[in-house]
Structure 1
Amino acid sequence: MEALGGYPTKSSASRAKLLKILLSVALCMGSLYLIQIKVSKSRKPKDFYSYEVKDARGKTVSLGKYRGKASLVVNVASGSELTELNYRSLQELHRELGTSHFNVLAFPCSQYGDTESGTSREIEAFARSNYGVTFPIFSKIKIMGSEAEPAFKFITDSIQRIPKWNFWKFLVNSEGQVVNFWKPEEPIEEIRKEVTTLVRNIILKKRQEL
């Protein structure tokens, strides 16, 4: 409604001023949201060692402690037909090459049949007592679906494949990038050759930097 002479009333002028303020606030909020998204993207982990995971006791562990080393990341299980062969061969590899420059990193997963039904602590105790395992065994995780462990999802996204069964093995270099992977049926001898070469290169690089 306008006053006589075509001039706006005080009420309409106040509304226009309020709308202008609300529009400015909305624009500011939108800008802040876009900045937040940009910052979040820039902080997204760019390598395996940038993530944190839980150990078998539920304590948060930074994978950054393994940076500068080679890692063989494995989705393990206690009740698989592949358990004994793999645990023994992985422990042998860990003992031969670790732990100054190499580690086996085990992630139990219960998404492959009824092959990993225990708690994380039970899984760790089983591997230690039955196979003398000394490499790190982390908390039981999911690999498939929306609840997939972020650190392991980084690995599967890197190779564009998801394990179809237990004991897939993923070789991560000293910078935290996935450089190769093996299915469970592939012989440990082939894996040992490539892991040994990677470890040797890491040692040579460190010597050159001294």
Structure 2
Amino acid sequence: MLTSRSRILSQKNLSFASLSASFLLSKQTPFNSKQTLLPSLHNSPVSLHSQSFKAGASRRFLGSVRFNHSMASQSSPQSAHDFTVKDAKGNDVDLSIYKGKVLLIVNVASQCGLTDSNYTELTQLYAKYKDQGLEILAFPCNQFGSQEPGSSEEIVEFACTRFKAEYPIFDKVEVNGNNAAPIYKYLKSSKGGLFGDNIKWNFSKFLVDKDGKVVDRYAPTTSPLSIEKEVKKLLGIA
């Protein structure tokens, strides 16, 4: 009969042997097999939490992409009427006031070789069709040969005094490059030029219909009166 001390030692030896066997068995068994005595981390609470986090992050990312795409679609300009520009005095002008009008949008300059002929014919065209719904929008620009160096006040005085311009002349803008006015970015993207989208020189012209859509684009050397037929067509004049 074993003494109490002997029984205790026997129990300790059995426990140690059992632990040793378990350890050896776990070493021989693939970590994630069904026979392993150790729990697989694949199904552990930490792993499940990680999977849940990744899934949630994916849903948030996809939702963000859909949201941003939707916002971009809603904010994309649909016509020239969607823009606000500055007049010569720095006041905001919402171009939606020209809904129902045919627009001829021109980047003008005061010291260009094309100045006299273009300003003269713009005044003639406007006088002839302003009561039928034509508006000419003039945007001074100094990007071509620095031929529009004056202030907005000087530009307006020059056009109105010398060429009797009655159509609106807006604040000076850039028409090319990163700082191009948004209205010009829209015009160029709607109707590219023969050698690319960029405006080539002073007095490039965009013809816009009553819904604010760009119908045609004309080179600086195209005279305003030479597009009278197209203007009349958009105005609905026989």
Same fold (TM over 0.5): yes
TM range (shorter): 0.7 to 0.9
| Matching residue of 2:192 | 160
Provide the C-alpha distance between the structure 2 equivalents of 1:99 and 1:47, rounded to a whole number of angstroms.
23
The two structures have a TM-score, normalised by structure 1, of 0.80
2:66 is equivalent to residue 34 of structure 1: yes
Q: CA RMSD in A?
A: 2.7
User: Quick one: percent identity of the two aligned structures?
Assistant: 33
Report the secondary structure of 1:98's partner residue: helix
Structure 1 residue 122: Cα displacement: 2.6
1:30/1:122 CA distance change after superposition, 3 Å: farther
2:228 is equivalent to residue 192 of structure 1: yes
| Matching residue of 1:183 | 219
Which sections of structure 2, spanning at least 5 residues, go unmatched?
Answer: 1-36
Provide the C-alpha distance between the structure 2 equivalents of 1:15 and 1:122, rounded to a whole number of angstroms.
72
Provide the C-alpha distance between the structure 2 equivalents of 1:189 and 1:87, rounded to a whole number of angstroms.
11
Structure 1 runs (4+) deviating above 3 angstroms are 5-8, 12-23
| Cα shift readout 1:32-53 (whole Å, capped 9, x = no counterpart) | 3431222222331111122221
| Matching residue of 2:130 | 98
Structure 1 residue 182: Cα displacement: 2.2
Give the aligned residue type for 1:176.
G
Structure 1 residue 165: Cα displacement: 1.1
The two structures have a TM-score, normalised by structure 2, of 0.71
In the comparison of the two structures, how many residue pairs are matched?
Answer: 198
Counterparts of 1:61-210 in structure 2, within 5 Å, are 61-99=93-131, 101-161=133-193, 162-201=198-237
Report the secondary structure of 2:174's partner residue: coil
Report the secondary structure of 1:134's partner residue: coil
Report the secondary structure of 1:32's partner residue: helix
Provide the C-alpha distance between the structure 1 equivalents of 2:56 and 2:144, rounded to a whole number of angstroms.
54
Higher RCO structure (Cα 8 Å, ≥6 apart): 1
Give the aligned residue type for 1:164.
K
Provide the C-alpha distance between the structure 2 equivalents of 1:61 and 1:15, rounded to a whole number of angstroms.
59
Structure 1 residue 89: Cα displacement: 1.4
